[in-house]
Amino acid sequence: MQTFFDGILASISRFDLIDALDILLVAVMIYYLLKLASRSRAMQVLKGIGLVFIASRLTELFRLQAVTWIFNYLINAGALVLIVLFQPEIRRGLEQIGRGKFLDSLQNHEGMETSGELIRAMLNMSKQHVGALIAIQRKVALGDIIETGTQINGRVSAPLIETIFKTGTALHDGAMIIDGDTILAASCFLPLTSRQDLPQELGTRHRAGIGLSEISDAVVFIVSEETGQISAVVEGRLIRNLSAGGIRRLLFGGDENKDGTERNRIFAKMKNRRKKSQ
């Protein structure tokens, strides 16, 4: 025990600016890791890992050799298991690092017009209890998802969206993929999430929306056929019971719970595409 505290005192006596910078960088890394994990099922596992790590350090401190060996084995073997189990979360985190958070806003007439059509369609379907699953493509291309459905390549409009999702039509099952002001495809298959912490009342549409957000940066809107409730999934986080204002804030403010300083380019490609076509 005395040796342990002597080591701490020796480290403090050698503390300099480089050590302070080292600690700051580690703190930032841990902060963003926890921020990412808090949006997914990984948080509970991280809590468990933290407890195991603390327990292993205590066993070393009290020189419990057999227990220490077991804990060290679990930690070393568990690293590979975690990579396999949390591949979607790891992939999403790397994609977020790659694209950064400095996303431009879209405050133009075309974007407002398109978002208005989308909001009107979802509100109408909500009143009529028509189920819908709509994914807004952003920087991560959804080509593999689009190939599972039927290509539309039509202009976003409330009548077209409502017609596609009308019960009994050929394309009402599955997801619609939108990019800018264009409906790329409908009746697409989305991967289901494997999360076990979701409310039991959530159906296949909600699980599919969460599943897509785990492997891409798409914003997914869900209209419940049973309740008429409108929900959205952003970066694996489910936001339920959205109003028209809530949908608009997500489309133009990036996150319903933020002040709008980080804005998402959900329809950002629209203006450039219009210019090229002219």
Q: Which pLDDT belongs to residue 262?
A: 35
Task: Tell me the pairing of strands 237-239 and 230-234.
Answer: antiparallel
**Residue 108: helix, strand or coil by DSSP?**
coil
78 and 187 co-located in one domain: no
8 Å CB contact between 70 and 55 = no
**Claim to verify: residue 132 and residue 232 sit in the same structural domain:** yes
Return the amino acid letter for 240: R
Residues 151 and 226 in one domain: yes
Identify whether residues 183 and 266 lie together within a single domain: yes
The residue out of 57, 75, 99 marking a domain boundary is: 99
Report the pLDDT value the prediction gives residue 225, as an integer from 0 to 100: 94
Say yes or no: 85 and 124 in one domain. Answer: no
Write the single-letter amino acid at 37: A
The distance from CA 231 to its chain's CA centroid, rounded to whole angstroms, is 14
Position 253 scores a pLDDT of 60
Residue 187 belongs to what H/E stretch? strand 182-188
Q: What is the model's pLDDT at position 36?
A: 64
Instruction: Give a yes or no: residue 253 inside a domain.
Output: yes
Cα–Cα dist 269/271, whole Å: 6
Residue 162 lies inside a defined structural domain of this protein = yes
Question: Tokens 């700051």 sit at which residue?
Answer: 24
Length of the chain (residues): 278
Residues 128 and 223 in one domain: yes
How many Å apart are CA 6 and CA 179, to the nearest integer? Answer: 61
pLDDT at residue 85 in the model: 67
Structural domains in the chain (count): 2
Asked if 226 and 148 touch (Cβ cutoff 8 Å), the reply is no
> Which of 99, 133, 163 delimits the end of a domain?
99
- Laid out side by side, the sheet with 175-179 consists of 150-155, 182-188, 175-179, 132-136, 219-223, 230-234, 237-239
Low pLDDT (below 70) residues in the chain: 1-13, 35-46, 85-86, 88-89, 91-111, 253-278
- 104 within some domain: no
- 85 and 131 both lie in a single domain: no
pLDDT for 58-95, tens place per residue?
888 888 888 888 877 777 777 777 777 667 667 666 66
Domain enclosing residue 240, as ranges: 109-277
The enclosing H or E element of 206 equals helix 204-215
Q: What is the pLDDT of residues 99-127, one digit of tens each?
A: 544 333 334 445 678 889 999 999 999 99
End-to-end CA distance of the chain: 77
State which amino acid sits at residue 259.
D
* Residue 227 shares a structural domain with residue 272: yes
**Residues 180, 69 share a domain:** no
- Domain boundary (99, 118, 148) is at 99
* DSSP3 helix / strand / coil % (the chain, rounded to 5): 55, 15, 35
Output the CA–CA distances (angstroms, integers) from residue 9 to 23, 50, 91, in the order listed: 17, 25, 41
Residue 156 inside a domain? The answer is yes
In terms of domains, do 115 and 148 share one? yes
